Amino acid sequence: MDKKMIECRDVVYKYEDSNEGTYKLAIDNVSIDIEKGEFVVILGRNGSGKSTIAKHMNALIIPTEGKVYVDGMDTSLQENVWNIRNNAGMVFQNPDNQIVATIVEEDVAFGPENLGIEPNEIRRRVDDSLKRVNMDEYKKHAPHLLSGGQKQRVAIAGVLAMMPKCIIFDEPTAMLDPSGRKEVIRTIRELNKKYGITIVLITHYMEEAVKADRIVVMDTGKVVIEGSPREIFSNVGTMKEIGLDVPQVTELAYELQKEGIDITSDILTIDEMVDALCRLK
Ligand SMILES: Nc1ncnc2c1ncn2[C@@H]1O[C@H](COP(=O)(O)OP(=O)(O)OP(=O)(O)O)[C@@H](O)[C@H]1O
Ligand SMILES: [Mg+2]
């Protein structure tokens, strides 16, 4: 069986400007592979092409040049689109735009209802999905009364009810407060670790990228670096040149090192920092 969940092969994407006959080159020859079961984070400045490449991953847009395959299916073939959308779900920034019903469980049922799935199976999927995001207690509640983090978890349950193999998250925590962000990130990690769902996460929060299997950094429509969180964030200088931050503790280690303190620059967590500081002579 093919181990690749998503393959982007030499993808070029141009947004056409219908008025002036000009175009904007948003994706400039990008190749990215996402393995089944992997947790990949995409980082990049505003306008670097993250959302555009993400939309290729569930056939919301089709490459101008090159190919995208989702679970082996070519996204440019119309007959594959239905299957691709069921295999690769997408979650966006604003939970309010993703919630359609006035009761949580009805909202989660909306997707599978549209697939024509029989009622008993829908019931089972709704209950199961709400449990997976830890929102089953709220199934009879009105979504608009929930917190941002809770709403976003309901939106995630709605995607889970379609039973996708892969979920692409485009800045799912951008509109949430710190506690909502934590809830949502915990949920996303659990979907990956416990249920084996392949995750692509776009974020501007470096702390959210630390636990990824792999980070892909984009700039001006290209992939500029790719590697483990430790590899990526230890390049503090490169990241700064691209206009990106690194996690706060990594930055601190970098500054200490500049001051002549003998500490490694690939520190990612507070625990690692404490360890390193205690080892200083
Ligand atoms: N519908 C559109 N029409 C024309 N140009 C677009 C359109 N959407 C995006 N662009 C341009 O394409 C480039 C990539 O945009 P994209 O939204 O993919 O970036 P991004 O990395 O997701 O940015 P952000 O961090 O702000 O979400 C940008 O220059 C943007 O202005
Ligand atoms: Mg974006």
Centre of ligand 2 from the C-alpha of residue 271, in Å: 32
Look up residue 270 and give its DSSP letter: H
Centre of ligand 2 from the C-alpha of residue 43, in Å: 10
Q: Is 20 exposed, middle or buried (0-12, 13-18, 19+ CB in 10 A)?
A: exposed
Q: Is 244 close to ligand 1, i.e. is its CB under 6 Å away?
A: no
Strand partners, 33: 7
- For the chain, the C-alpha Rg in angstroms (whole number) is 20
Q: Which ligand is nearest to the CA of 48?
A: 1
Of the candidates 29, 1, 33, which has an alpha carbon nearest to the alpha carbon of residue 213?
A: 33
Question: How confident is the model at residue 123, as a pLDDT?
Answer: 96
The rounded Cα 204 to chain-centroid distance in angstroms is 11
Q: Is 15 close to ligand 1, i.e. is its CB under 6 Å away?
A: yes
Ligand 1 atom with minimal separation from the 51 CA: 22
Q: pTM, whole model, 2 decimals? A: 0.95
Ligand 1 atom with minimal separation from the 55 CA: 18
Q: Please give the chain's pLDDT, 281 residues, in tens.
A: 668 999 999 999 999 887 777 899 999 999 999 999 999 999 999 999 999 999 999 999 999 999 999 999 999 999 999 999 999 999 999 999 999 999 999 999 999 998 889 999 999 999 999 999 999 999 999 999 999 999 999 999 999 999 999 999 999 999 999 999 999 999 999 999 999 999 999 999 999 999 999 999 999 999 999 999 999 999 999 999 999 999 999 999 999 999 999 898 889 999 999 999 998 87
Question: How confident is the model at residue 266, as a pLDDT?
Answer: 86
Buried b (16+ CB within 10 A) or exposed e, 72-108: ebebeeeebbeebbebbbbbbbebeebbeeeebbebb
Question: Phi-psi category of 243—alpha, beta or left, where left has phi over 0 and alpha has psi -120 to 50?
Answer: left
Q: Measured between alpha carbons, how far is 105 from 88 in angstroms, rounded to an integer?
A: 22
Q: Is 50 close to ligand 1, i.e. is its CB under 6 Å away?
A: yes
Of the candidates 152, 96, 101, 163, which has an alpha carbon nearest to the alpha carbon of residue 128?
A: 163
Look up residue 102 and give its DSSP letter: S
Task: Take atom 22 of ligand 1 and give the residue whose Cα is closest.
Answer: 51
Please report how the helices 178-193 and 148-160 are oriented relative to each other, as an axis angle in degrees rounded to 10: 20
Centre of ligand 2 from the C-alpha of residue 281, in Å: 45
Q: Is 52 close to ligand 1, i.e. is its CB under 6 Å away?
A: yes
Centre of ligand 1 from the C-alpha of residue 52, in Å: 6
Centre of ligand 1 from the C-alpha of residue 34, in Å: 22
Centre of ligand 2 from the C-alpha of residue 174, in Å: 10
Q: Is 49 close to ligand 1, i.e. is its CB under 6 Å away?
A: yes
Of the candidates 181, 179, 183, which has an alpha carbon nearest to the alpha carbon of residue 206?
A: 181
Which uninterrupted H or E stretch holds 166?
A: strand 166-170
Q: Is 23 close to ligand 1, i.e. is its CB under 6 Å away?
A: no
Contacts of 93 (CB under 8 A, 6+ apart): 170, 171, 172, 174, 175
Which uninterrupted H or E stretch holds 188?
A: helix 178-193
